[in-house]
């Protein structure tokens, strides 16, 4: 049975236009409509749920089983918090639309950075935690949703002025765009495309590390796409630059929004080199090290559960499960074992 949406738009209910759609389709259409229709979005905010942030740090709550979840407040609860802490009720209007729950409830995020952090934490029974930590405390779909929310809030905080005229930009109600008040130029939130590739020579896979990585950690090779490049061109260039290899047989695996340090759009691929052309020539200005790893070494690293103790890193430590790099490495190991 389809859940019926009951937000009044232009004198008709959503339920009439979406009655024949699946739950997924109706959710996608609702979000798309809310991006375009300020009045509908303002109405949805009154009944929506809100993820709070403080200077871009999400508010998390510990739940009885010891895990964490993002604090999700109803907009009336947020109003009550604002009132109790002496903030303007109009602050709620700064909320940015991030999606729609499976119960067809619009989801928003709001940065309350101008309020006292400890006071909000106390009233909401939660803690604002830096995204670099919070992202890995969360599981399932919550981690990417919180990352998306932070990325949108950051984009609004840093795009208040038009880069052509220097004049202020105004956001629409959902926060899906900003418009220059003088020139009418429309700005949309952006992500930087990054190609990430797991290269194999048939028996081994190529992993590299930067000096900033934790000791023992190696990852798939990654790099930002240059303007005008295709995914394949960027991938071949990055592997040539960083490892001195020429790859072939590129296949796409999957993608991911990666919030660190800013919004990257990670495009994950596999690629191959011929065993006779697998001699590495590492560019040490880009990578501290890059090496070929055997299936045995990779499988042992995939079996490690907890982060390594400080001072005693294992021979190989892989990126966390949330990272597309982890997925590429696991896929490669599974294919080798087939």
Of the two residues 14 and 258, which places its CB atom closer to ligand NAI in the complex?
A: 258
Helix locations, the chain, DSSP H: 14-18, 23-36, 38-47, 75-84, 117-124, 131-137, 142-158, 231-243, 295-303, 324-337
The alpha-carbon radius of gyration of the chain (Å, integer) is 23
CB-side neighbour CA atoms (13 Å) of 1: 2
Looking at residues 213 to 272 of the shown chain, list those that interact with ligand NAI (rule: CB under 6 A): 219, 222-224, 256, 258, 260, 264, 266
The nearest distance, CB 234 to ligand NAI, in angstroms, is 10
337 three-class SS:
helix
Of the two residues 34 and 243, which places its CB atom closer to ligand NAI in the complex?
A: 243
Looking at residues 266 to 305 of the shown chain, list those that interact with ligand NAI (rule: CB under 6 A): 266
Q: Find the part of the chain contacting ligand NAI (CB under 6 A) among 46-54, 78-86, 109-117, 190-198.
A: 190-198
User: Residue 211 to residues 100, 133, 290, 306, 318: CA-CA distances in angstroms?
Assistant: 40, 20, 11, 22, 15
Which of 235, 239, 318, 325 lies at the binding interface for ligand NAI (CB under 6 A)?
325
Total count of residues recorded for the chain = 338
The nearest distance, CB 219 to ligand NAI, in angstroms, is 5
The nearest distance, CB 37 to ligand NAI, in angstroms, is 32
Q: What does the alpha-carbon distance between residue 237 and residue 223 come to, in Å, rounded to a whole number?
A: 9
**Count of residues near ligand NAI by CB under 6 A:** 17
The nearest distance, CB 227 to ligand NAI, in angstroms, is 9
- Decide the pairing of beta strands 96-100 and 12-13: unpaired
Of the two residues 100 and 323, which places its CB atom closer to ligand NAI in the complex?
A: 323
The nearest distance, CB 242 to ligand NAI, in angstroms, is 8
Do 178 and 187 form a contact (C-beta atoms < 8 A)?
yes
Binding track, positions 141-180, relative to ligand NAI; x by CB under 6 A: ----------------------------------------
Record the tokens describing residue 20, joined without a space.
């024949």
**DSSP letter string, 80-138:** HHHHHTT--GGGGGG-EEEEE-TTS-EEEEEE-TTS-HHHHHHHHT-EE--HHHHHHH-
Contacts of 6 (CB under 8 A, 6+ apart): 13, 14, 15
When asked if residue 192 is in the footprint of ligand NAI (CB under 6 A), the reply is yes
Q: Find the part of the chain contacting ligand NAI (CB under 6 A) among 143-151, 198-206, 270-278, 320-328.
A: 320-328
Of the two residues 18 and 147, which places its CB atom closer to ligand NAI in the complex?
A: 147
The nearest distance, CB 188 to ligand NAI, in angstroms, is 16
The nearest distance, CB 104 to ligand NAI, in angstroms, is 31
The residue ranges that bind ligand NAI (CB under 6 A) are 192, 194, 196, 210, 219, 222-224, 256, 258, 260, 264, 266, 319, 323-325
């Amino acid at each position: 049975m389809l859940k019926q949406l009951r937000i009044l738009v232009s004198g008709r209910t959503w339920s009439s236009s979406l009655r024949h759609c699946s739950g997924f389709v109706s959710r996608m259409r609702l979000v798309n409509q809310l991006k375009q229709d300020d009045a509908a979005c303002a109405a949805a905010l009154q009944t929506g749920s809100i993820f709070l942030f403080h200077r871009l740090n999400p508010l998390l709550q510990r739940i009885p089983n010891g895990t964490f979840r993002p604090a999700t407040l109803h907009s009336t609860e947020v109003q009550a918090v604002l009132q109790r802490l002496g903030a303007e009720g109009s602050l709620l209007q700064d909320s940015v639309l991030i999606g729609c729950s499976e119960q067809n409830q619009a989801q928003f995020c709001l940065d309350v950075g101008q309020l006292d952090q400890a006071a909000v934490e106390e009233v909401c029974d939660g803690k604002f935690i830096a995204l670099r930590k919070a992202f890995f405390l969360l599981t399932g779909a919550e981690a990417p949703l919180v990352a998306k929310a932070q990325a949108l809030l950051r984009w609004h905080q840093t795009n208040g002025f038009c880069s052509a005229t220097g004049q202020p930009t105004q956001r629409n109600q959902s926060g899906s765009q900003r418009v220059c008040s003088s020139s009418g130029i429309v700005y949309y939130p952006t992500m930087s495309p990054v190609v990430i590739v797991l290269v194999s020579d048939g028996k081994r896979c190529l992993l590299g590390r930067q000096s900033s990585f934790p000791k023992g950690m190696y990852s798939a090779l990654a790099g930002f796409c240059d303007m005008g490049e295709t995914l394949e061109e960027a991938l071949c260039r990055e592997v040539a630059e960083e490892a001195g290899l020429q790859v072939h047989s590129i296949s796409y695996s999957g993608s991911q929004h990666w919030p660190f340090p800013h919004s990257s759009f990670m495009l994950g691929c596999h690629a191959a080199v011929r065993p006779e052309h697998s001699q590495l020539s590492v560019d040490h200005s880009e990578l501290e090290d890059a090496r070929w790893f055997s299936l045995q070494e990779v499988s042992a690293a995939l079996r490690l559960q907890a982060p390594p103790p400080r001072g005693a890193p294992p021979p190989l430590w892989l990126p966390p499960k949330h990272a597309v790099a982890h997925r590429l490495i696991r896929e490669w190991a599974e294919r080798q074992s087939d």
